[in-house]
Amino acid sequence: MSPRFVQLTPPGRGAVATVLVEGPGASRVVEAYFRTKSGCPLSDYAADRIVLGRFGPTPGEQVVVHRRSDESVELHCHGGRAAIAMIENSLAKEGCRPTAWRNWVDSRHDDPITAAAHAALTEARTERTAAILLNQYHGALRRAMDEIERSIRNAKPQEAEKQIRELLGRVNVGLHLTRPWQVVLCGRPNVGKSSLINALAGYQRAIVHPTPGTTRDVVLVHTAVDGWPVELSDTAGLHAGSDTFHRASIELTERKLAKADLIVLVFDRSTLWSKDDYALLQSWPGAVVVHNKSDLPGASGAPKPGIATSALLGHGIEELTAAIADGLVPDPPPPGTAVPFTEEQVEWLHRVL
Ligand SMILES: Nc1nc2c(ncn2[C@@H]2O[C@H](COP(=O)(O)OP(=O)(O)O)[C@@H](O)[C@H]2O)c(=O)[nH]1
Ligand SMILES: [Mg+2]
């Protein structure tokens, strides 16, 4: 069988790309195009030596070769598409088979769960999510699935059901390990939504403007809240009962709010409440409520429940962060527990249930 090659680094431009050539005769195939800097043939070098040289027709691409064994050779080249394409075309001419990265991952693991965890790990954005995926990579979910099968074989359907429901209870976390939660800040223009997004993300990103209604187009900010990957965005309030907003923009807001994993309703503590504000509060009872501009004197009226913040001074941001994290993941999985993390796994659990 001819060797295969696979690009181990993500597609697209990067500083350095790595192409792995694997299988019987891998080293020989690479030698056909690779000239070491020293002039000695690659096979003269001991395995695991790092060798600098050029690959392909003169002058050739500068590459660093890591021959792990005769059957496994890594080529580290410049990350531009042309460099990678030249190397891959040369390998293909020598009869090497191109292999998609995901297929390569799948072929390396006997257990599809391990393979899926391997692939998912490359998409984890935080240490917290990576740690959970790493537990699944090391067998947490496989052991839980095996236990379910054992319960069924031993004619203990109630036990199996309990085990399945426990796993399904962690699906919310599991499916977000590679896909960030959507958190939408909603409120009237000028209440400080963009300022709060900046304060939550810890850097200036959203456009903050002293003129009401500046944020029309949505700015997405990627950040982590308590180790959970989150996409923050904002939207204007609904202004129920008013016709100052076009129908279309109201629909857009409604769609956005309905899709959100968590809504943060933002009010300006220094201005009087309107009936729109009360309507908003009633429409989204599960939302986290924030009274911003706590550094300014409060408007008259009874204090309302919620978190007081000052995006300007950074007050209350920690409390808000904690409330968002708690709203998204009220019951974080303890370390080492099994967590289903792909749609296929969830489907399997539902089917068995
Ligand atoms: N005093 C004070 N001003 C704030 C606070 N948060 C935002 N602002 C100001 O309010 C104005 C509107 O803020 P912005 O974040 O653009 O509001 P948005 O329209 O809801 O996105 C800007 O001039 C901000 O500097 C706050 O906590 N305290
Ligand atoms: Mg704004």
Q: What's the rounded mean pLDDT across residues 115-143?
A: 97
Phi, psi of 209 (to 5 degrees): -140, 140
pLDDT tens per residue, range 232-271: 998 876 654 455 556 677 777 888 888 999 999 999 999 9
**Adjacency order of strands within the sheet including 262-268:** 221-225, 228-236, 181-187, 262-268, 288-292, 307-308
pLDDT category of residue 339 using cuts at 50, 70 and 90: very high
Architecture of domain 4-107: 2-Layer Sandwich (3.30)
Domain 181-328 bears CATH identifier 3.20.20.70: no
What pLDDT, on a 0 to 100 scale, did the predictor assign at position 249?
A: 72
Q: Where are the domains of the chain?
A: 4-107, 109-170+333-352, 181-328
Supply the residue whose CA is at minimum distance from atom 16 of ligand 1: 208
Q: Is residue 293 in contact with ligand 1, taking CB distance under 6 Å? A: yes
Q: Is residue 199 in contact with ligand 1, taking CB distance under 6 Å? A: no
Q: How many CA atoms lie within 13 A of 264 on its CB side?
A: 33
What pLDDT, on a 0 to 100 scale, did the predictor assign at position 121?
A: 97
Beta-bridge partner residues of 65: 51, 75
Quick one: which atom of ligand 1 is closest to the CA of 294?
27
pLDDT cut 70: percent of the chain above it: 91
pLDDT tens per residue, range 192-230: 999 999 999 886 555 555 555 554 445 688 899 999 999
What pLDDT, on a 0 to 100 scale, did the predictor assign at position 219?
A: 65
Q: Is residue 292 in contact with ligand 1, taking CB distance under 6 Å? A: yes
pLDDT category of residue 41 using cuts at 50, 70 and 90: very high
pLDDT category of residue 312 using cuts at 50, 70 and 90: very high
Q: Tell me the C-alpha distance between 345 and 353, whole Å.
A: 12
Q: Is residue 209 in contact with ligand 1, taking CB distance under 6 Å? A: yes
pTM over 0.95: no
Which SS3 state, helix, strand or coil, does residue 250 take? helix
Beta strands in the chain (DSSP E): 4-7, 16-22, 34-36, 50-55, 61-69, 72-78, 97-98, 181-187, 221-225, 228-236, 262-268, 288-292, 307-308
Q: What's the rounded mean pLDDT across residues 154-173?
A: 97
Assess whether the region 4-107 and the region 181-328 belong to the same CATH fold.
no
Q: State the Cα torsion 120-123-128-130 to the nearest 10°.
A: 40
pLDDT category of residue 169 using cuts at 50, 70 and 90: very high
